[in-house]
Amino acid sequence: MVRRPGDPSPDQAGAPRPRRKKQEQEAASEEVTEVAPGVLRMQLPIWMPGLGHVNMYGLVDDDGLAVVDPGLPGPKSWKALKTRLATAGFGLNDIHTVIVTHSHPDHFGGAGRIKHEAGAELITHKAFTTWSLDQKGATMSGEEAERLEQEAIDEAARYTGPSFEELPPLATDTDEFTVEDQRQSVPWGGSTPWGGSTHPMPPLKRRVMIRAMRLVYKPPAPTRRVRHGSAIRLAGRDWFAVHTPGHTLDHLCLYDPEHGILLSGDHVLPTITPHIAGSANGDALHSYLATLDLVAQLDGVRLGLPAHGHPFDDVPGRVDAIKEHHAERTETLRDVSLAIGPAGVVELSHELFPERHWGVMAESETFAHVEHLARSGQIERWTEGDRLVYRAAPRTEV
């Protein structure tokens, strides 16, 4: 049974409330909820640090439905996906479109299989790339992925604020293009831009991983790639693609101006601040903050539908809270740099994060912030061997 707005929840019906976690950490519920006209929320289980579920949204129309972010690869997630569809009164073959907000496996994992089994169109942002495999199991060339990444970096570098109309599109003559067999890169074994941790995978383990992936996973090769501002017909109305780099370069939000709805993916989450992936060729934090302002000032935006956590009804307020967090982190990082002197990203990340969080995620977030400071002239940067080193200059009294 689908619960609709206004129906009593278990809490409202008098059930005892459990001790609350962060919303994004809550385990996936089996309940299917209509959260907006023609929009169903279906939670799928995931097993990633700090997260308990991903929201797969179903956008219902006369032809069936489109689904957004169909969970991780693998049989457990796939079984949950089909169970949620059945609860909502649909089967796999009712899916005509699958949309992936960005290139993380908890969002694209089931997309290729839906495309393969249901014959669905698979829509992503133009810059979407993954570590995936092609249909024959061969590893994919990184040349096209690097080109798409650079285009997204060049576009993001020009993002300055809240005008949806003036946000520069990728350099293409059409709103979208189709790709039947997009080549994508495999980052295993690559080094980080800051000269810190790597993502090693020994050759034997890598071969075993590839063979295992062939058994459970269909690559999410897009049939349609959209750019900023492209219209996509979903749930009987036009939604607009909003390119929101920061969490990833290819991050895509969907905006429904008719009802003031933002499908926010991981760009805006209700109770945690999304991870910012530092880039060697761009200012990821600048891009993220600029596109936070963009989505907060979309005309009439009110309801946020995030990829993790519950729907929230104050998109601008949540954006302000996230921006305040990053302002505080940037200031803390500058103070840390002044206190410890010249240091690399690894050392700086150890000052910002507790030991249980040390590693490449903390380093990437630190790199995004320190590069933002360096590019704005607030911190010096130089190279020592293959390592980037940073030092904040003392503040001058006015």
CATH number assigned to the domain comprising residue 83: 3.60.15.10
Q: What is the pLDDT at residue 216?
A: 61
d(CA 146, CA 154): 12
Identify the band that residue 138 occupies on the pLDDT scale cut at 50, 70 and 90: very low
Question: Is residue 321 over pLDDT 60?
Answer: yes
Residue 129 within a domain: yes
Residue 330 within a domain: no
Mean pLDDT of 124-144: 61
- By residue count, the chain amounts to 398
Spatial contact of 113 and 122, defined as CB atoms under 8 Å apart: no
Question: Is residue 184 over pLDDT 70?
Answer: no
340 in the same domain as 309: no
- Beta-bridge partner residues of 383: 388
Record the tokens describing residue 1, joined without a space. Answer: 């049974």
Mean pLDDT of 209-232: 79
Residue 65 within a domain: yes
Residue 22 within a domain: yes
Record the tokens describing residue 378, joined without a space. Answer: 């607030």
How does pLDDT run across 228-267, given as a tens digit for each residue?
999 999 999 999 999 999 999 999 999 999 999 999 999 9
Q: 295, 322, 349: which is the final residue of a domain?
A: 322
361 in the same domain as 242: no
CA atoms within 13 A on the CB side of 275: 18
Identify the band that residue 8 occupies on the pLDDT scale cut at 50, 70 and 90: low
Q: 262, 289, 322: which is the final residue of a domain?
A: 322
Q: What is the pLDDT at residue 299?
A: 92
Mean pLDDT of 312-325: 98
Out of 84-98, 126-140, 347-361, the most confident range is: 84-98
Mean pLDDT of 298-321: 97
Record the tokens describing residue 223, joined without a space. Answer: 């049939």
Q: What is the pLDDT at residue 338?
A: 96
Percent above pLDDT 70 for the chain: 76
Q: Which domain holds residue 108?
A: 2-322
Q: Where is pLDDT greater, at 158 or 176?
A: 158
Give me the sheet containing 39-48, strands edge to edge.
2-3, 32-36, 39-48, 51-61, 64-68, 95-99, 121-125, 224-226, 176-177
- Summarize the chain as % helix, strand, coil (round to 5): 30, 25, 45
Domain count across the chain:
2
Q: Which of 102-111, 199-208, 223-232 has the lowest mean pLDDT?
A: 199-208
357: CB partners within 8 A, 6+ apart: none
Question: Is residue 163 over pLDDT 70?
Answer: no
The overall average pLDDT reported for the chain is 84
Residue 398 within a domain: no
Record the tokens describing residue 124, joined without a space. Answer: 């992503």
Percent above pLDDT 90 for the chain: 65
Residue 327 within a domain: no
Q: What is the pLDDT at residue 155?
A: 73
Q: How far is CA 250 from CA 44, 85, 299, in A?
A: 22, 27, 23
Q: What is the pLDDT at residue 31?
A: 98
350 in the same domain as 242: no
d(CA 248, CA 28): 24
340 in the same domain as 242: no
Q: What is the pLDDT at residue 142?
A: 59
Nearest alpha-carbon partner for 250 in 273, 282, 213, 218: 282
301 in the same domain as 347: no
Q: What is the pLDDT at residue 278?
A: 86
Identify the band that residue 396 occupies on the pLDDT scale cut at 50, 70 and 90: low
Q: What is the pLDDT at residue 219?
A: 86
Record the tokens describing residue 365, joined without a space. Answer: 């977030």
What stretch of H or E contains 347? helix 345-352
274 in the same domain as 249: yes
185 in the same domain as 134: yes
Helices (H), the chain: 75-87, 105-108, 111-118, 143-156, 203-216, 284-296, 315-340, 345-352, 360-375
Q: What is the pLDDT at residue 390?
A: 97
Q: How far is CA 291 from CA 164, 243, 316, 380, 398, in A?
A: 9, 8, 12, 26, 33
Question: Is residue 319 over pLDDT 50?
Answer: yes
Q: Where is pLDDT greater, at 38 or 169?
A: 38
Q: Where is pLDDT greater, at 171 or 362?
A: 362
347 in the same domain as 248: no
Residue 63 within a domain: yes
218 in the same domain as 352: no
377 in the same domain as 316: no
d(CA 285, CA 324): 13
Record the tokens describing residue 195, joined without a space. Answer: 């000269």
62 in the same domain as 34: yes
Q: How far is CA 26 from CA 42, 47, 101, in A?
A: 14, 11, 21
SS3 187: coil
Q: 322, 348, 378: which is the final residue of a domain?
A: 322
Q: Convert 307-335 to b/e letters by CB count within 10 Å (16 or more is b).
A: bbbbbbeebbebbeebbeebeebbeebbe
117 in the same domain as 17: yes
